Amino acid sequence: MLEITTSSNNVIALAGRFDAAQIEKAREAFAAFQENTIVDFSRLEYISSAGLGVLLATQKRLQDNGSGLKLVNINSHIRDILHFSGFDQIFEIG
């Protein structure tokens, strides 16, 4: 189960498991952002390739407007996934 919390200051917090079963819910939440957005991973336990796909699609859409995603509070397991997939070269990671 994925819990998504958004705030008015362009922060989206993810908790739980970001996998294929949660894609539509995630796409809706990420579609609301049109400028620089911080994605807080502090409570995210797992991300699948489907979840990575949502992040990538959002990043590409935002970059068309000169904006992007900044990923923060990433645990070591997810950080490894981002590194091995090359996503650490695509996203700002803080």
* Percent of the chain clearing pLDDT 90 (strictly above): 95
* CB-based contact 48:73 (threshold 8 Å): no
pLDDT in tens, 54-93: 999 999 999 999 999 999 999 999 999 999 999 999 999 9
Quote the tokens at residue 83: 């590194």
Three-class secondary structure assignment of 48-70: CHHHHHHHHHHHHHHHCCCCCEE
Q: Which two tokens stand for residue 7?
A: 């705030």
Does pTM surpass 0.85? yes
* Distance (Å, whole) CA 35 – CA 19: 24
pLDDT in the model for residue 8? 81
What is the C-alpha separation between 17 and 48, in angstroms, rounded?
8
For residue 13, what pLDDT band results from cuts at 50, 70 and 90? Answer: very high
